[in-house]
Amino acid sequence: MLSGRIAVVTGSSRGIGREIAVTLAAKGATVIVNYNGSAEKAGEVVDVIREAGGEAEAVQCNVSDFNQSAELIKYVIKTYGRIDILVNNAGITRDNLLMKMSEEEFDAVLNTNLKGAFNCIRHASRQMLKQRSGRIINISSISGIMGNAGQANYSASKAGIIGLTKSVARELASRGITVNAIAPGFIDTEMTAVLTDNVRKAAEENIPMKHFGSTKDVANTAAFLASEEAGYITGQVICVDGGMAM
């Protein structure tokens, strides 16, 4: 399905990013597992992929840094000759009520989540334009659609990703490059594992399907958008949220 494709998945040492990396590799793509903090966790993802017969390597890069992002993409192109799939998944949270939120908390989230996506698209799109093909998949959130108390920074960054997705989709569509966003709802990850039973139960009550999604639900959507089958889909935001944002 994705045989011969070269994929970069940012922030893929854990959670949704990890599952996307493993899923793309299982479908034949060579995956660059990007991480910023934990080389050990990124190495584990590479090991999982290789043990299943896939191809992957881990590459460190802080995507919020414009120049580091340029070096990441430059390395991929130099090593593999092309880049076919870019998944902008790297993201952080610094939750706080607006009146208590520091400038650092706001800036850190915007720099990683939104500017990081811009940086990687900015550098990868040049190669995709040369190829006249490419798939860019940005991981947003239902928080970027609905808003969420205590997450003004995170919601703003994820709403920004939606605007970025639509603008870039318009710019690149004529050259065979699709740009789409996925907006996950409540997904079982390390991030949601810390929720108390009461908070989790209240969240499930707000989900029409009454349960959290899995990282596989998001990864399968990403794999579809990366495939030839999704060749006529661009500028879209697909909510993987059990119906929460409808």
Instruction: State how far the Cα of 205 lies from the Cα of 210, in Å rounded to an integer.
Output: 6
Instruction: Clarify whether 232 is annotated catalytic.
Output: no
Catalytic residue, chosen from 35, 75, 80, 154, is 154
DSSP the chain: --TT-EEEETT-SSHHHHHHHHHHHHTT-EEEEEESS-HHHHHHHHHHHHHTT-EEEEEE--TTSHHHHHHHHHHHHHHHS---EEEE-------B-GGG--HHHHHHHHIIIIIHHHHHHHHHHHHHHHHT-EEEEEE--THHHH--TTBHHHHHHHHHHHHHHHHHHHHHGGGTEEEEEEEE-SB-SHHHHTS-HHHHHHHHHTSTT-S-B-HHHHHHHHHHHHSGGGTT--S-EEEESTTTT-
Which among 122, 8, 172 has a CA at the least distance from the CA of 75?
8
Angle (nearest 5°) at CA 35 between 189 and 194: 25
Instruction: State how far the Cα of 2 lies from the Cα of 84, in Å rounded to an integer.
Output: 10
Active site residues: 154
